[in-house]
Chains A and B, each alone.
Chain A
Amino acid sequence: MTLLTVDHLTLTAGAKTLVDDISFTVAAGETLAIVGESGSGKTLSALNVLNLLPPGIARPAGTVTLDGTDITTASPASLQKIRGGAAGMIFQEPMSSLNPLQRIGKQIAEAITLHEKLPRAAIRARVLTLLREVGLSDAERRMDDYPHLLSGGQRQRVCIAIALANNPKLLIADEPTTALDVTLEKQILDLIAREQKARGLGVLLITHDLSLVRRYANRVLVMDQGRAIETGPTAAIFANPTRPQTIRLLAARNFDPPPPANDAPVILEASHLNVRFPILRGILRRKIGEIAAVDDVSLTLRRGETLGLVGESGSGKSTISLLLLRLIAFQGSVLLDGQDLAKLSKRQLRAIRARLQIVFQDPYGSLAPRLTVRDIVGEGLSVHARNLDRDTRNARVAAVLREVGLPADAADRYPHEFSGGQRQRIAIARALILQPAILVLDEPTSALDVTVQAEILLLLRALQQRHGIAYLFISHDLNVIRALSHKIMVLNAGKVVEAGNAETVFANPQAPYTRTLLAAAGL
């Protein structure tokens, strides 16, 4: 039975066409995944189903029929009955889709009372059932908690409970796990799949992550720049994609293992690293304990080698990157070229900083918005090579921009004129211009689309081969880690769980935690 039919839908903003003539259907009990990169129009297509389009976006053509009602012509009152009634929606960021000032039980109850008049006790009982159903442990007590007391995964469970509150027929999930760790991602999607089976739901899953699609969707619709370029059963599309964009999307996930690094000299040796944050309580801020963000971690890096640090959020992997750059205080020793970074004075440290550079995760936050690319990239030179004259400096900036694959005119533009991938290239150029021996890459690709991700990874690999830079590669994404790392270190709660050669760990994980991670990533 067809639940949702979208027919020749076109969405425009001013003169720009955002969604161009797409059609799809979702039947009861099936999952349709809409896949595409950011800006491909997949979220808009989903919002349109419940007529939740942001202002300024017009629908010049197309019809949307949901459970027998034409959404495009429905009155506001009947639309409100459908929203949260016949169709429930889950958003990407569970923290911002819950009201921080209301208890979660009340928020679920509100979803029910909007559609049904029930006595208070009955509502409470139903909220409780829902919370148990979505697997929130200790539901009785938890229903009186505020959202900030829950973890990200628990919050998303609450959002699912709200979406399911009125026995919908269709569930729209817009990137429901993008903000979550891999193991949680699996739990949440398994939950959605279980509910789907139990209730016979039609699910519209919006995502950019193809490994999720392969595991959870019956059919796929691939979108590119507002157009539906390919649609069909999941297995068929994965086995034999016809359009170049789809092939590129799929190829972006399948990397060859990195070329092996020969036995090179050790350039960085960090031992017994510890970072502790005090837990303070009471009015006097008495120290009652410590949290170990990094707990006795030791690592070595060889020339031209990549060490992959894997872990979920809170595992201390980013803390290690800040620590190695001495941007936070720590105990332990970090030997770089035989000098202990922990013991250097500020002045000595400044000289050695050129050897050790970092690229951050967020390409939007890591470039100063008010400086030109030339100023950003050339800043390292103005610190470490002060006596360069202007022409030489400009030439070196131009050379490094060319090396990371940016157009020649990039130097005089501002960061906001570039896309996420290009910004990440600028950030790499900034680190590269000092010809560092070690580059710390803190989730450099996780804010990027998959195809852009692949391009950046290829660039990083080429740079490593050309310059023999050692990478400390930090990521939660095992696919990405696998593409670049020679060695792997798995972190959990600040401790090293497993370490070894990449191939060995992937082929034969020892620690149970590593196995969970690999299973969650579908590897």
Chain B
Amino acid sequence: METAFTPLASLAGGALIGLAAVLLMLIHGRIAGATGILTGVLLPTSRDDWAWRAAMLLGMVSAPGFLLLLTGTMPAIEVPVSTIALLIGGFIVGIGVTLGSGCTSGHGVCGMARLSPRSIVATAAFMLVTFATVYVVRHVIGG
């Protein structure tokens, strides 16, 4: 399935992700990692910590509806994989981000921007394995 190359929208969207990360640090003193936020909502350490994470999660989930109101269209989601792949992939992602203490937002954006050696290693590891996995799934198994 081909997708259109969208450098400007992607750059602008990336800048918004960065803006959110900077604002969260400036206002709340926290790293904007999706894994940390979801974990903190599921397994709260204190009432205060639960509340800001739940509020941020709610904001994230309401973004598509907000864009629908603003632009008249829902952001496009095309899922080129099977239900089984979603379930197996999701489960493995859950194990991986918990053991690795972060994902694309926490390690890839916030940690890399802090020049954290841990995050640079983590990002290199998951990017390389994702490239390899997609190659194997699409061109070795599926090819």
Q: Are A and B a genuine interacting pair, yes or no?
A: no
- B residues lining the A interface (CB < 8 Å): none
- A residues lining the B interface (CB < 8 Å): none
